[in-house]
Amino acid sequence: MASPALQQIHAPTFSISDSEDDQGGDTVERWNMRDVQMWIQLAPIPDTLIVPDSHTNSAERFAFGLLSTGWASYADMGLLMDLLPSASRSRRSSVTDLTQTGGKLFYCGAYRHGPMGGLMTNTMQYPNVSRLLASCIKGLSPAACFTSLAFHRNILTSPHIDNNEPGINNLIVPLSRWKGGQLWVANPHGRDYIRAATVPGNIIQVSPPMIAIDANKLHATMPWEGGDRLILIAYHVRQPVLSPRERCILANIGITPSSPSSHTVVID
């Protein structure tokens, strides 16, 4: 019997060995998926879905339409990215200058910077978009625990370590087709070396429906070509600092942190 994640995909999934341009050891020549339209069945939406009006921005209206149908194609997600604002720069030093790659970033959910924490502004300004992104993850992995979502297009990262909640992997959903663009993840028993790191690792293909990695290990993005590299990442910040109201907002959106008793700092 297929896994729940595979059952939610409205198109066949496959390993990289099925790719029509697989060139053996040359990772840049490998497509991450076949040239077919892919769909994600969204998780059921809560009753608090916000109906757009004439003053609602186009991204929120578009997200509402997708949530109403219960399905989102990869092409739909590309159109959504076009409608969204982009962070002018990334807070992460590991992210290559966005002007070099034509990159675009959108974040929502919880943040944690030192002792400070709370909800990112986009969470309230784009509630339907936030719900849609969370519904994509929950549609593929209903039991997933995460506090935050990152929607990236053409983002190249050098080797870095995220300060995420130990034991909770990042979930990465590819939403477009490209050549190369794998993730390199450090592994003392790995056989793959990259110039920017002095330790071995494994190169992991980012193929549908999703992959999971331990982002607390050194990892990096491999170069790509052949198209835009669009991905959705669900991650769990370390000990999120959230008030009961903020946890309620996340729950209404469909973002489900791990148990507050074990990981979350609750503030009044």
DSSP label at 265?
Answer: E
CB contact set of 88 (below 8 Å; sequence gap of 6+): none
| pLDDT score, position 45 | 77
Rounded-to-integer distance, Cα 106 and Cα 60, Å: 14
Joined together, the tokens standing for residue 175 give 């939403």
- If one counts every other C-beta atom within 10 angstroms of the C-beta of residue 44, the result is 11
Residue 254 makes CB contacts below 8 A (sequence gap 6+) with: 43, 45, 46, 131, 134, 135, 138
- How many alpha carbons lie under 13 Å from residue 35 in its C-beta half-sphere? 6
pTM comes to 0.85
142: its two tokens: 């209903």
Domain definitions of the chain by residue range: 4-266
Whether 233 and 155 have beta carbons less than 8 Å apart is answered as: no
Q: What is the pLDDT of residues 123-135, one digit of tens each?
A: 999 999 999 999 9
- Over residues 163-218, the pLDDT tens digits come to 999 999 999 999 999 999 999 999 999 999 999 899 999 999 999 999 999 999 99
Where in 154-266 does DSSP place strands (E)?
A: 170-174, 179-180, 183-186, 201-204, 211-213, 219-221, 224-225, 230-235, 241-242, 265-266
Whether 27 shows a pLDDT value over 70: the answer reads: no
